[in-house]
Structure 1
Amino acid sequence: MSAVVAFTPERTDWIAVTAVVVAGMVSAMQVGKGLIAGPLLQADLGLDLTALGWITSVFAIVGVVGGMPAGAMVAAIGDRRMLGIGMGILLIGILIGAASPNFTLLILSRIFEGFGFLLVIVTGPAILMRIVASTRRDLVFAFWSCFMPAGMAIAMLSGPLFQSWQAIWWINGVVALLSLLTVITAVSPATAGPCASSGGLRADVSATLTSRGPLLLFALFTLYSLMTFTLFSFLPILLVTRMHISLGTAGLLSAFITLANVIGNLAAGTMLSRGVGRGGLVIVAATLMGASGLWIFLSQSGDTLTFALCVLFSAIGGLIPATLISTVPMLSPRPALAPMAMGLLMQGSNLGQLIGPVAVGAAIEAYGWTSGAAFIGAGALCCILLATILDNALRTKPRETA
């Protein structure tokens, strides 16, 4: 296979950084639109809850299966070209979905969207590594890690403005087209072309999967995603039950809680750029997520406290993805394998997103809301244990010889 030769620029191209981050947000909007359009899809296509679950979970399935292959494609084809391809596939999926007359075609369109989404989120960090000065890298990766909560919140806040789910799809198509044109205009191609990898694809996959660093980050992101979606998958229902509010109000509050995750992401970038230890930061975040999550599920707190704990859970949780994403280049076996390691990280994210809602939903249905605490507590504890070796992994990683 081939890999793009990486170098560290002296200056940061902020216009290109903005274009890449916005592309990530636009891709995340496609996840959020599936959530907010649920009632409209039910009314128009007669879908049950199981079918609606497939509308959202297909993204996670594509991510679990295709994370590392997507990373390999980025390394072989080139980051800018692959980002354009990803946005193009995403746009095609959106347009097919907007014109879908039935559930079968809609699911097919979501597979296209899911693959485009995956290419964008794996390619974005590879471009940022290339165009961002090393002194700004932690901060820029923190901005990048905001793409998911910001994009989902935008989708959930804007969705109720439209009267049909097709209108939501069409407007997302326009936004995706504009983002694609911006990427083509603002992001410059790599100055160095692809160079051959001596061992080929199999050797690169083996090197990534047998390296302690990528596997550690994969496990940590899986646990973070499991904890996050344990709460977020049923957040509107939880708020309605605890706060006795309408579903519309619960959706608005859920969007605000999701957006609070951005605070943690940006805070992580600032702290990492000032030398705060990565393992220690993950430990603090996992501890506070665990404490607030246990309180939410085990107690019967009032309206204000329940909402405040959910905001805290989301905001403090944002420290973890920003830290892990910015650590990928540091723990990759070789710089050329960073996109593949990022793909593995995204597989962990989607694995937690896939198994979390199913397992937690079954547990809550069988044992009640308090059973969610078991997932939060176990996830936080395992996350803390793994984070204790993160800084050691960074200290002991051998230097690249060339």
Structure 2
Amino acid sequence: MSAKVQWFAKDLLIIGAGFAAAMHIGKLPAAIPILQAELGLSLVQSGLLLSCIQCAGMCFAVLIGSYVSKLGLKRCVLLGLSLLTLASICAGLTQSVASLFAMRMIEGFGFLLVTLSGPALIRELTPIQSLPAKMGLWAAYMGGGMGIALITAPMLIQSWSWSVVWFSYAFITFSFLLGIAWFIPHPKTSTQAVPLKSLIKMTLQHQPAWLLALIFGTYAGQWFALVGFLPTIYEQNHIAPTLAGLLTASVSIANAVGTFICGLLLQRGFQPKQLVILGFVVLICCASLFYMAKDSLPFMLQYVLVFGFSLFGGLVAGSIFAQALHFAPNPMAISTTVGMILQCSSLSQFLLPPSIAFVVSSTGTWLWVGVVTSLLSVIGIVLTQRLFGLVSTQSKVST
């Protein structure tokens, strides 16, 4: 096997690990009705179980990101995959609601370790000329992994049980763990001499890192909330559950396709600033039409708007993750910078759906939700102009 093929395979192992980690996020929605019937899970408990996996990222992403750099990227990926594997097996064996919550929290920390370490490890393994495309593939982990789970989990549940889903995904995760342990070398970059406090302080004082995190935050909550309302669309239009699952998965996978296309465009010389702004402009158009005319639009047009929103949202996600490698204050602070991005993302995904529900219940209409999401996208565009304007100014000063 040539050296080029070996490096390519190593890249795909890390990217595949990201997809496997995201599959654990997407496995739960299809199992909620079964868990309610078999374990007596209440509606409130179901909502908390769905959201509690975000708690680790929402509270500890920056802190854990600094430890990732200290402990070693490969070790942290392996630790994250180990936590996902063990927690998924234990949850599949349990018949206790309390144990399900505990294992879901552990899965949250495992997911966070993998997604914090992945970008920096890909940077170490990938030749610089193919890095944008590989980061585009990496940024597809959430949409792609959730899409795979949304397709496969209902089939496994229908044929066997929800426990089989947990065991199957644990096996997939463990397979990537073995592959990475065996084939991936430990990166040469070391941060042993950098105090954790200095690493965190360096990142928190770096304005581009904050801008990247805030830009991604304005997008992530919108995507999570809009996709979350898909079951409402299906119910209103009397769509069969099997078809509804496939349609939801296709929307999630569209986001992965968008991020991959973004990576290819970046590699071909397209400017990240223009891709991010294009993404936000399409988000404004799709979200505005969807929310402001939600009850009068035919189903196919509603679905096309959500699909387009997810597809072009991938331009934002792919560009931001790619730029995190360039805008980190120091190569040693890449994981901490990604941690800041993920922390803003988790906070946005945690806060925006209930905020949208509050707006709808208070006003009795979806129109103002379109106004709120459009405003978030406008803020994202302004922050993007600020980020790349700041870089341009610094470049002029240096010359």
- Common fold, TM-score beyond 0.5? yes
Cα displacement (A) at 1:365: 3.6
Equivalent residue for 2:184, pick from 183, 187, 210: 187
Query: Does 2:277 correspond to 1:280?
Result: no
Cα displacement (A) at 1:192: 5.2
1:3-402 counterparts in 2 under 5 A? 13-163=7-157, 164-191=161-188, 193-197=190-194, 200-241=195-236, 243-299=237-293, 300-366=296-362, 367-397=364-394
Change in Cα spacing, 1:186 to 1:397, as seen in structure 2 (3 Å) is farther
**What SS does the corresponding residue of 1:144 show, helix, strand or coil?**
helix
* Cα distance in 1 between the residues matched to 2:5 and 2:251: 35
Cα displacement (A) at 1:254: 0.9
Report how many residues are paired. 389
1:214, 1:328 within 8 Å by CA — same for their partners in 2?
A: yes
* Cα distance in 2 between the residues matched to 1:124 and 1:28: 13
* Cα distance in 2 between the residues matched to 1:145 and 1:88: 22
Give, as a single letter, the amino acid of the residue that structure 1 aligns with 2:370: A
Change in Cα spacing, 1:79 to 1:311, as seen in structure 2 (3 Å) is same
2:216, 2:320 within 8 Å by CA — same for their partners in 1?
A: yes
Cα displacement (A) at 1:387: 1.1
Give, as a single letter, the amino acid of the residue that structure 1 aligns with 2:144: A
Give, as a single letter, the amino acid of the residue that structure 1 aligns with 2:354: V
**What SS does the corresponding residue of 1:275 show, helix, strand or coil?**
coil
**What SS does the corresponding residue of 2:27 show, helix, strand or coil?**
helix
Cα displacement (A) at 1:201: 1.8
Change in Cα spacing, 1:39 to 1:371, as seen in structure 2 (3 Å) is farther
**What SS does the corresponding residue of 2:329 show, helix, strand or coil?**
coil
* Cα distance in 1 between the residues matched to 2:239 and 2:367: 21
* Cα distance in 2 between the residues matched to 1:12 and 1:227: 38
* Cα distance in 1 between the residues matched to 2:16 and 2:367: 38
1:11, 1:132 within 8 Å by CA — same for their partners in 2?
A: no
Deviation per CA, 1:244-290, whole angstroms, max 9, x where unpaired? Answer: 31333222211111111122112211221222222221111101111
In structure 1, runs of 5+ residues without a counterpart are 1-8
* Cα distance in 2 between the residues matched to 1:260 and 1:303: 18
Cα displacement (A) at 1:368: 3.5
**What SS does the corresponding residue of 1:52 show, helix, strand or coil?**
helix
Cα displacement (A) at 1:396: 4.2
2:63, 2:200 within 8 Å by CA — same for their partners in 1?
A: no
Cα displacement (A) at 1:60: 1.2
* Cα distance in 1 between the residues matched to 2:356 and 2:115: 26
Q: Give the structure with the higher percent helix.
A: 2
Deviation per CA, 1:222-242, whole angstroms, max 9, x where unpaired? Answer: 10112112201121212322x
Cα displacement (A) at 1:117: 0.3
* Cα distance in 1 between the residues matched to 2:361 and 2:92: 34
Mean Cα displacement is larger for which, 312-321 or 223-232? 223-232
Identity %: 25
* Cα distance in 2 between the residues matched to 1:138 and 1:45: 45
* Cα distance in 1 between the residues matched to 2:110 and 2:395: 34
* Cα distance in 2 between the residues matched to 1:371 and 1:95: 43
TM-score (norm: length of structure 1): 0.92
In structure 2, runs of 5+ residues without a counterpart are none
Deviation per CA, 1:332-385, whole angstroms, max 9, x where unpaired? Answer: 111111110011111111111111222122333442433431332121111111
Cα displacement (A) at 1:395: 2.9
Q: Which residue of 2 aligns with 1:3?
A: none
Deviation per CA, 1:65-115, whole angstroms, max 9, x where unpaired? Answer: 111122112110111111111111111211121122111110000011000
TM-score (norm: length of structure 2): 0.93
Give, as a single letter, the amino acid of the residue that structure 2 aligns with 1:220: I
* Cα distance in 2 between the residues matched to 1:339 and 1:145: 14
Change in Cα spacing, 1:48 to 1:361, as seen in structure 2 (3 Å) is farther
Give, as a single letter, the amino acid of the residue that structure 2 aligns with 1:173: A
Cα displacement (A) at 1:397: 4.9
**What SS does the corresponding residue of 1:162 show, helix, strand or coil?**
helix
1:236, 1:247 within 8 Å by CA — same for their partners in 2?
A: no
